[in-house]
Amino acid sequence: MSITVEAIVEELKRVQLPDGTNIVDADMVRAVTIEGDSVRFVLEVPGELGERMEPVRSGAEALILRMTGVEKCSVMMTAHIAPKQPPNLKIGGHAKPQEDKLPIPGVKRVIAIGSGKGGVGKSTVSSNLAVALAKLGIKVGLLDADIHGPSQPRMMGVSKRPASPDGKTIIPLQAHGVTMMSLGLMLKEDEAVIWRGPMLMGALQQMLNQVEWGELDVLLIDLPPGTGDVQLTLSQKTDVTGAIIVSTPQDVALLDARKAMNMFDRLEVPMLGMIENMSSYHCPKCGHEAHIFGHGGARDDANKFGLPFLGEIPLELDIREAGDGGTPIAATDSPHGEAYILIAQKIIDSGVL
């Protein structure tokens, strides 16, 4: 029987705190990583407790070691600073000189998810695709690189500020089986990011290389719309396995999607395929199917340019409400989440993962 992150988290709910809660419900468990028969994770405790939490740490370690299939367990304990005193971590400095593409420690593959224009549902697709891959047994991370409009914290249902034990290393958060990080977690929800290109590039480098991603089969990167600094920096500084383009069937969206494809081609990033979002709408009352943004445009473009067509996602109220509520539809039993599962399976079957 293989060990899963979900099983470990469920077991850790047995570790009680003095106030009667457990370390999972108290949001202390971070960065659960499984490598064969070895398990490691971070226990983030309030700074004022410090060494008094050592029995809790050792107890959690002993509990996991008793699980079937676990031979080794390492639990690192960090004491985070009080919420009113954020970690001494500066995000958004100028990019550091870097001649060659650098691998991301522990990350086997990097897939960029882009779109030519905003409003086509790229972030919704990114969060649901990450959850769908995790459901299929893939160790997946999600980086929200849409720095001016980070929406993944809301869509993934996380709001806690990431820990930074030394002011340099960033401990990512866990949600729905996905390891995730977003600049939005470092800011107030309504706080604008007003940065020029060099600071954008610096922030992206930090989120790629200073985050403790752990061992991942794939890191999905939710890019901002367009063909700007973030896309250029990612392609030039990181070994990107490939890119997926999300578009609605609308002609205007497809026109910009082609520009995004052209950009990745010029940057020598392989295209892994296209996804058509908001492909059709079914009236919940009468069942009539309507194509509000047209239909089949992304499939036609994929065929035209010799790219895999990964699938269609309908325009459904449940998908929007699930994202706004912090639980991607792919994490539920809703039949509307099946479209993302099918796309995730198609990516796996293609041999990319």
Judge contact between 91 and 210, C-beta under 8 A.
Answer: no
Same domain, 128 and 10: no
In a domain, residue 297? The reply is yes
Same domain, 141 and 265: yes
Nearest to 241 by CA among 82, 106, 352, 342: 352
Tokens 């031979």 map to which residue?
A: 71
Percent helix, strand and coil across the chain, each to the nearest 5:
35, 25, 45
CATH assignment at residue 9: 3.30.300.130
What was the pLDDT predicted at 87?
Answer: 42
Same domain, 22 and 116: no
Nearest to 17 by CA among 9, 27, 7: 27
What was the pLDDT predicted at 295?
Answer: 87
Strands (E), the chain: 29-35, 38-46, 72-80, 110-114, 140-144, 173-175, 178-182, 218-222, 242-247, 271-276, 281-282, 289-290, 309-312
User: 3-state SS of 259-279?
Assistant: HHHHHHHHCCCCEEEEEECCC
In a domain, residue 96? The reply is no
Distances from the Cα of 4 to the Cα of 40, 64, 230, 257, angstroms: 12, 12, 34, 37
| pTM for this entry | 0.73
In a domain, residue 71? The reply is yes
Phi, psi for residue 75 in degrees, rounded to 5: -120, 115
In a domain, residue 102? The reply is no
Which residues are 171's β-sheet partners?
163
What was the pLDDT predicted at 84?
Answer: 40
Report helix, strand or coil for 303: helix
H-helix segments, 73-142: 122-135
Which of 80, 101, 134 is the last residue in one of the domains? Answer: 80
Same domain, 66 and 181: no
Digitized pLDDT (tens) for each residue of the chain, 353 residues in all = 578 888 899 999 999 888 888 988 888 888 888 888 889 888 887 766 666 788 888 889 999 999 999 999 988 887 654 444 334 455 555 555 555 688 899 999 999 999 988 889 999 999 999 999 999 999 999 999 988 888 999 999 998 888 888 777 899 999 999 999 998 887 776 777 666 667 777 788 888 888 999 999 999 999 988 878 888 888 888 999 999 999 999 988 999 999 999 999 999 999 999 999 998 887 777 877 888 887 888 999 999 999 999 999 999 999 999 999 999 999 999 999 999 999 999 999 999 98
In a domain, residue 101? The reply is no
In a domain, residue 104? The reply is no
To 5 degrees, how large is the angle CA 217–CA 221–CA 226? 150
In a domain, residue 268? The reply is yes
CATH assignment at residue 307: 3.40.50.300
User: Dihedral (C-alpha) 193, 198, 199, 205: value to the nearest 10 degrees?
Assistant: 120
Distance (Å, whole) CA 341 – CA 137: 12
Same domain, 318 and 231: yes
In a domain, residue 88? The reply is no
Same domain, 131 and 254: yes
Which of 39, 64, 80 is the last residue in one of the domains? Answer: 80
Same domain, 281 and 178: yes
Same domain, 158 and 38: no
Same domain, 31 and 138: no
Same domain, 39 and 135: no
What was the pLDDT predicted at 42?
Answer: 84
Same domain, 121 and 73: no
CB environment 30-57: b (16+ within 10 A), e (fewer): bbbbbeeeebbbbbbbeeeeeeebeebb
One-letter amino acid of 68 = T
Same domain, 119 and 186: yes
Which of 61, 80, 99 is the last residue in one of the domains? Answer: 80
Domain tally, the chain: 2
Judge contact between 111 and 241, C-beta under 8 A.
Answer: yes
List the domain range (segments joined by +) for residue 199.
Answer: 110-349
